[in-house]
A and B are shown apart, each in its own frame.
Chain A
Amino acid sequence: MSDHSTETRADGSHIGRSQTRFEDQALLRGLGRYADDLATPPGTLHAAVVRSPHAHARVLSVDVSEALALKGVRAVLTGEDVKRWAHPFPVGVRGAPMEHWCLAVDKVRYVGEPVCVVIAEDRYRAEDALDLVRVQYEPLKPVIDPEKAAAEDAPVLHDAVGGNVVNERHFRYGDPDQAFEDADHRVSIKVRFPRNSCTPIECYVVVGQYQPATGVYDILSNFQGPYALHSVMARALNVTSNRLRLRTPPDSGGSFGIKQGVLTYVVLMGLAARKAGAPVKWVEDRLEHLQASSSATNRVADMEAAVDADGRVTALRYDQIDDCGGYLRAPEPATFYRMHGNLTGAYGIRNLAVRNRVVLTNKLPSGLNRGFGGGQMYFALERLMHQVARQLNLDPLEVMRRNLVPADAFPYRTASGALLDSGKYADTVDLALRDGGYQELIQRRDRARAEGKLYGVGLCAVVEPSISNMGYITTALTPEQRRKAGPKNGAVSTATIGIDPLGGITVHVSSTPQGQGHQTVVAQVVAEVLGVDPASILVNVELDTGKDPWSIASGNYSSRFAGAVAGAVHKAALQVRARLANIAATMWEADAERVRFAGGKVFIEDGPSLGFHRVAGTAHWSPALLPDNESGGLRETAFWTPPQLEAPDDDDHINSSLCHGFIFDYCGVEIDRVTGEVHIDRYVTCHDAGRLLNPMLVDGQIRGGFTQALGVALMEEFAYGEDGSFLSGTLADYLLPTAPEAVEPLILHTETPSPFTPLGAKGMGEGNNMSTPVCIANAVADALGRDDIQLPLTPSRVRGLIGIDEPPAPEGLEPLAAPRAGGPALQARDSVVVPASPQTVYDTVLDPETLRAIIPGCHALELEGENQYRADVTVGVGMIKARFAARVRLSDLDPPHSLRLSGSGDSAMGSASGSAHVTLVELDNGHTRLEYVYEVDVGGKIAAVGGRMLQSASKIIIGQVFNRLAQRLTGKPVGGGLWQRLRALIARLLGKGDAS
């Protein structure tokens, strides 16, 4: 690998050079200015958010009086305030009367949904008050699985909608039915793409201010765009859009799409500031971030291909369900439609049928996430192509080659309407195979297999769209709905270059970067055009909608920087140069065309020369010297939008993105037969992203995206229990690759410039998030000869695919109960023997005094009705404890044979409910065996951070209840607990001493 910093281009050009970053100095010295580092106005208060522990529940009442009474608490914002001042967020699809407010007003629909905002003098106190807000919920049955949610009989999230499918569209391009009828083969596959998130290391930050005099909400946030969402926020705040002044900080600690989701909190903290009558700052913590910020959309895709005998695919059929969570938050359902134009991938497939359904489930709302829509789509398409090869017994590489869009077809209009701008797909594949050592990799596989190893090779080809058409989302609407709403399209980018009286150059772009190095590349582009040192240029990337140029497409998403923003910068620089050339030409009475800019000078070849600052200064200091068409001052703003991005037509063709890069990846993996660990032996990724503006930054983007994708493939998933509890609430549960897991890919490039962007650059940086998960999945499929590959490919899951042929359990050691599939909805059984008759035991249990005594940590028990009690209980294991306001109930009474003991409650740490069915069996000696089968559901923080331990913890706590009962009956601790019995049993089985 080359050391980029020393690389210079022979022609002295700045564009295309691996310039080290101008951002680095501040960031490396701890001098970055991230949102939480900036000064806040005096008197700024701090917010903490009360969140739902339930996945689905009606909010019966909210009592904030105790919280308000706490010293240091200034206000609590509730759903009532929000209903008074605000509106629900506008929804991107028509006909779905779904109301999404920034605080729950009637129901909560996912764990972590904001219910109230406590505003206090500091964050610590605000969190103290969280525990004092009393919310009464009526839990409702949740629905988590998207296919179940789409069914008729599913619990409905939004009663006004009537069902959970909030958008359904069918598309047909070409004649798919005929193609399937004519096909030699039909190949199908069904895949699921999990929920995951690129999880920036800096969480959301919002500082809200409200100016009553002007009615302006002035809000600082590390929002990343798209600024089309500014209108969504303004509508929700119930103000005209000029009264939402949204500002971003100079630095942002990563986003990868996720910081789009801060939009609901921008509104929330604006309202919180209004309520408190003071500025309000909220810094999201990691637990909040994981459970309630944003995530990729999980998808279920049924795919089918019509294939001829040679492996040519003549038609594709997509039947997809996107699970957008509890609410359709803008810009969803964009996950589907970002990729709509390029649903045929890198292949020249003319017939296409699509059914897209958007469902809501009790999960956090989904949104932008690097590779947006691509990871989902290519996982289905490229698994299908792999399957085509498998089913037809062809080489997967051959199947791909036979279907690629040919080089002479560009610009190529796909079946669904994308205009693929440029590319040489077959050549790129050849380059990758040659320079990546594909043949040698195949030999490695064969050798490894000969040695009995599990080794597989996976491939994939991806068209990487960039620079989104702002109108693509309207493909979710019918043509009639679109006509009513008016056409939407384009992707306006903007850049401003100001030159001050001493020639200092300041550039402003509205690209809100989150670490990609935009400042460096912008300086390179401007330096190239104006012939100055890039290090002399200052680039301002803060965006203030109150005074900076911006438009709906502003922001940092859809890889729009290199193509669109750098293009606008180039355009603005050319405008400045034209004016300066004109000024210089007038001074020198020469032709402006002959004026050159280089080395910090403005000159005419073999003629007069002046320092850049002198010529630029003329516009400020000596307007009299200016040509007639010059008005003085020097600042140019360029707006740029590509004409190719048209609105969808009446047949639903949509050019969803301006540029389309090409990526061809392949990899070899070896799988440990015992542990199921997937070891990536080699990974080759070959990119054609058009002209590269800074190759060092390009490779940095590839490595970062690749490593995130490695996480998606092998370890990352936002896991939900069947009861809707969120189980990945800490960074010890939601696992990101660390340095030892990271793999170094071999990165290859070819450059086919885009004809549609000013600099020939295409967007890049998201490609591996689209290609790598499926490439690794294909390799694992190849290694194991399995079709049912599901992500993430954890060791346990992979070992399951290899097959676990378990020897039976020795007698007496059979598992006590099979836990219900998935989730923490724990179910188990146990028993305890007590030296008393069933009748005695039964009577004892029904006695309230006993009940109080046997419930661990019971401070108070109050009769509420027959066999119903209200209890104040502290339960926990080890040092971890929570105090619950609980209800305890005895039911299904069948004396003296059986009864049910149930309890449920809420605590600051979340909700819990459990129920044990107890059977009393009389033994020969007159004693009683209490057999109990129990179920426990846990929600909120406890489930999110303690997932690993829930089973054991429930066992301990439930066990305590019955052991205390036995103890009460016998007056002494009972031995013979499960563990003791097991140890004795093991010792007997092994014929050894006691197990220790």
Chain B
Amino acid sequence: MKAASFDYVRASSKKEVLQLLHEHGEDARILAGGQSLMATLNMRLTQPKVVIDINRVEELNRIRNESGYLAVGAAVRQVQLTDRAELAREVPLLAKALPWIGHFQTRNRGTVCGSVAHADPSAEIPLCLVTLGGSVVLESLKGKRREVPAAEFFQGLLTTDRQPKELISEVRFPLAQDGTDYRFQEIAMRHGDFALVALALCLRADGAHLGVGGVADRPVAQTLPLGDELPAALNTLAWSLGAQDDVHASAAYRRQLVRELGQRLIEEPSHARPR
């Protein structure tokens, strides 16, 4: 279980990264935390010609709180966010979701943008980004810098709007809004596993904005009415996700969790188990 050969370039600036991406496009892979890429390299599921290491690009290792969002750079590790005391105030949903991601040892190296780039349908960070209505900033050497809404960025299983020559230079999480209660809940086979169903919630007096991960081929968020209409709306949401059977859970189980856990999460805050 050893990777195929590739050239390795340790970039020292964003410019260099963009140049390399421009040169190699589809044949290049960005190595940030490596928590997904390295495993797929080792298994030869991916065989890039060039691996561009951005771990030492200082300008990509920045977290900024500005203009109503928290911008997280491409080289920022998940642990840097868990260590950020202000996060619970800035982006409480993300603060609640982070402990559910993998394990302490993988959060130590795994990056926030790497998780977004990989676009695993069960991943927590893309789910938060979509639920909060965040965005992804893409840059390339020759093209225009683009800011893509998260809901458009994720296009399906491991598939995103990123073009081969583009770098996800940062992702932007909208800051907490007054009067909104943020909740996160996940059911997995084990602690730290891929979610069978993950739910992210922004609850306001007039409605619930519920994000679902692990069911559709991408994270999906939907605004739902509260009160008597909620069960029917949850049912519609559950069926709309195209849940599928796999070795760990049935489609019916996943739909049922969307309905019942969704209702629990919206109506009974105590059911949001912290980790």
Contact = CB atoms under 8 A, between A and B. Distances in A.
Contacts of B194: 732, 948
A451 interface: no
Nearest to A126: B2
A882 B237 CA distance: 34
A521 to B, nearest CB: 34
B40 A879 contact: yes
Contacts of A979: 156
B248 A794 contact: yes
12 contacts: A124-B3, A674-B264, A737-B190, A795-B249, A804-B252, A880-B46, A880-B158, A909-B44, A950-B246, A951-B246, A979-B156, A990-B225
A128 B5 contact: yes
A881 B44 CA distance: 9
Contacts of A955: 157, 217
Contacts of B232: 807
A908 B44 contact: yes
A715 B188 CA distance: 11
B255 interface: yes
A-B interface, 5 closest residue pairs, ranked by CB to CB distance from nearest: A878-B158, A796-B249, A285-B1, A952-B157, A996-B151
B189 A794 contact: yes
A989 B236 CA distance: 8
Contacts of B130: 996
Interface residues of B, number: 68
Nearest to A986: B240
A986 B237 contact: yes
A426 interface: no
Contacts of B248: 794, 796, 948
A945 interface: yes
Contact of A878 (B119, B187, B242): B119
Contacts of A806: 252, 255-256
A674 to B, nearest CB: 5
Interface string A727-762: 110001101011111000000000000000000000
Interface in A782-798: 794-796
Interface stretch (A29-37, A554-562, A582-590, A808-816): A808-816
A610 interface: no
A805 B111 CA distance: 40
Given A877-B159, A947-B247, A990-B225, 7 more contacts: A735-B189, A796-B249, A815-B242, A880-B40, A948-B122, A955-B157, A986-B237
Contacts of B245: 819, 951
Nearest to A720: B247
A636 interface: no
A992 to B, nearest CB: 6
Given A676-B253, A819-B244, A880-B158, A990 B236 contact: yes
Contacts of A949: 121, 157-158
Contacts of A574: none
Interface in A966-983: 978-979, 982
B156 A956 contact: yes
A288 B2 CA distance: 12
A879 B46 contact: yes
A978 B241 CA distance: 11
Nearest to A717: B247
Interface in B162-218: 187, 189-194, 196, 217
A796 B159 contact: no
Given A123-B2, A796-B253, A879-B46, A733 B247 contact: yes
B190 A951 contact: no
A953 B5 CA distance: 26
Contacts of B46: 879-881
Interface residues of A, number: 73
Interface string A808-849: 011001111001000000000000000000000000000000
B45 interface: yes
Contacts of B237: 986
Interface in A258-307: 285-288
B250 interface: yes
Interface in A117-147: 123-124, 127-128, 131
A242 B129 CA distance: 66
Contacts, number: 179
A800 B253 contact: yes
Interface in B133-160: 133, 149, 151, 156-160
Contact of B239 (A715, A809, A881): A809
B260 interface: yes
A675 B43 contact: no
Interface of B: 1-5, 29, 37, 40, 43-48, 118-119, 121-122, 130, 133, 149, 151, 156-160, 187, 189-194, 196, 217, 220-225, 231-233, 235-237, 239-240, 242, 244-253, 255-257, 259-261, 264
Pick from A124, A819, A948, A989 the residue with the most CB of B within 10 Å. Answer: A948
A799 interface: yes
A995 interface: yes
Given A738-B190, A794-B248, A286 B1 contact: yes
Nearest to B231: A807
A985 interface: yes
B157 A877 contact: yes
B122 to A, nearest CB: 8
A697 B101 CA distance: 35
Given A735-B190, A795-B189, A995-B220, A945 B239 contact: no
Nearest to B41: A879
Contacts of A286: 1
A807 B232 CA distance: 9
Interface in A907-941: 908-909, 941
A986 B46 CA distance: 36
B43 A941 contact: yes
A283 to B, nearest CB: 10
Pick from A127, A728, A955, A996 the residue with the most CB of B within 10 Å. Answer: A996
Given A881-B46, A986-B236, A995-B222, A799 B253 contact: yes
Contacts of A676: 253
A286 B244 CA distance: 27
A804 B256 contact: yes
Pick from B48, B193, B247 the residue with the most CB of A within 10 Å. Answer: B247
Nearest to B156: A956
A869 B116 CA distance: 39
B191 A741 contact: yes
Contacts of B242: 815-816, 978, 982
A759 B262 CA distance: 60
A996 B239 contact: no
B187 to A, nearest CB: 5
A654 interface: no
B53 to A, nearest CB: 16
A684 interface: no
B256 A982 contact: no
Contact of B2 (A124, A880, A881): A124
Contacts of B261: 674-675
Contacts of A951: 244-246
A719 interface: yes
Contact of A881 (B47, B119, B121, B222): B47
Given A795-B249, A878-B158, A952 B119 contact: no
A815 B46 CA distance: 32
Contacts of A733: 247
Given A878-B159, A948-B194, A986 B246 contact: no
A982 to B, nearest CB: 6
A879 B237 CA distance: 29
A796 B249 CA distance: 5
A524 B1 CA distance: 42
B190 A128 contact: no
A127 B2 contact: yes
B157 A953 contact: yes
Contacts of B222: 986, 990, 995-996
B221 A715 contact: no
Interface in A854-872: none
Contacts of A804: 252-253, 256
